[in-house]
Structure 1
Amino acid sequence: MMNMVVHPIEPVYDKDSKILILGSFPSVKSREEGFFYGHKQNRFWKVISAVFSEEEPKSIEEKKDLLLRNHIALWDVIKSCDIVGSSDSSISNVVTNDLSVILDVADIRAIYVNGKTALKYYEKYIEPVIKRPAICLPSTSPANAAWNMNRLLEAWSVTVLEQKCQKDRNRK
């Protein structure tokens, strides 16, 4: 059954955030947990912690700390939509989040999307408004079985660390 659902999770960012990572819309598990990538099979936290050579965070507080310590802002493209369960393919009647909440505060140098669904809605609704392209990373969702953990780590590491190195070079 189609359900209109409003995004219940606040974005994570601060004035020092340099990288913005956007998902599409929180899964049922994430909405229940009250934080991003709450489904135990989603590999987001494993990937992010490995990219930055840190311990995988367990609590919401540890997850926020990991992101902010590494200058990452995290949110989703979609503010509300009709959705069946957690099925990206069922998403319709999309209303997007207003990214100016983050972009007006932080010096975001790169915007990444976690998977093709986030990219689709970003390119359709957000990019025409803010005039900034997003770089699409392979989805960390367990539904993206074509990408094993090693391939995910490689793709995310190259892209995210490249951005971090660029940021470090700019600082000198």
Structure 2
Amino acid sequence: MIKQCFLPLENQDIRLLILGSLPGDKSLQEQQYYAHPQNRFWKLMKLIFNVAEIHSYTDKLDLLLEHHIGLWDVCAQAQRKGSMDLDIIDEEPNDLDVFLADHPHIHTIIFNGQKAQKVFDKYFKKNPNYRYFTLPSTSPANAQYSLEKLLQEWRTVLKKD
């Protein structure tokens, strides 16, 4: 089954870009980034930016933009049965070179998990003008990382900005 990514969360003020691999089935069904209730992405953002409550998906996206963070996926589309990153095949990348050229304030790229970084490395050369960080995936499939351990690693990078 061919699955496609969402449009990027972006504006002209973003300085940091978080790249996932490709939305999972629950995210595609809900048409929202990181919609699976066990995905820890939004919980991490709340903790890192000290926000007590986020009431809507729009509030979640606004939180990122307030902190100059964009969000997208490395894969524009791919074949994948289910939601596991390991099952992604025949991927086609997003045009990240054009995206980065159109967003000159970006200086840091974060990969949400190793699959995003590996697909990026397959199609793109790392540019010395950017800092790159591969962080542990927030996916529930990454059960070896507790929320506390994820928080420690993600906070270190996001708070550098």
Q: Distance in 1 between matches of 2:95 and 2:52?
A: 32
Could you tell me which of 8, 22, 26 is aligned with 1:11?
A: 8
Moved more, 140-149 or 54-63: 54-63
Change (3 A) 1:108 1:62: same
Q: What amino acid is aligned across from residue 118 of structure 1 in structure 2?
A: A
Cα 1:118–1:47, aligned 2, differ >3 Å: closer, same or farther? same
Aligned equivalents of 1:84, 1:57: Cα separation in 2: 31
Structure 2 unaligned residues grouped into runs of 5+: none
Offset, 1:106: 4.5
Q: Aligned residues: percent identity?
A: 38
| Residue number in structure 2 paired with 1:117 | 115
Q: Separation in 2 of the partners of 1:50 and 1:106?
A: 28
Q: Is the 8 A contact 1:13 1:102 kept in 2?
A: no
Counterpart mapping for 1:87-102 below 5 A? 87-99=84-96, 100-102=98-100
Alignment root-mean-square deviation, CA: 1.6
- Conserved? CA contact 1:45–1:56, under 8 Å: no
The DSSP-based 3-state class of the residue aligned with 1:86 is coil
Distance 1:65 1:97, change over 3 A: same
Q: Which residue does the alignment assign to 2:144?
A: 146
Matches within 5 A, 1:22-171: 22-99=19-96, 100-127=98-125, 132=130, 134-162=132-160, 164=161
The total of aligned residue pairs comes to 159
Cα distance, 1:122 vs structure 2: 1.0
Post-superposition CA distance 1:121-142 (Å, at most 9, x none): 01111236x6656310111111
Moved over 6 A (4+): none
TM-score by length of 1: 0.86
TM-score by length of 2: 0.92
Amino acid at match of 1:55: A
Contact kept? 2:107, 2:131, Cα under 8 Å: no
Query: What per-residue deviation string (whole Å, max 9, x for no partner) do you get for residues 48-101 of structure 1?
Result: 121111134242211111111011000010001110011211111110111223
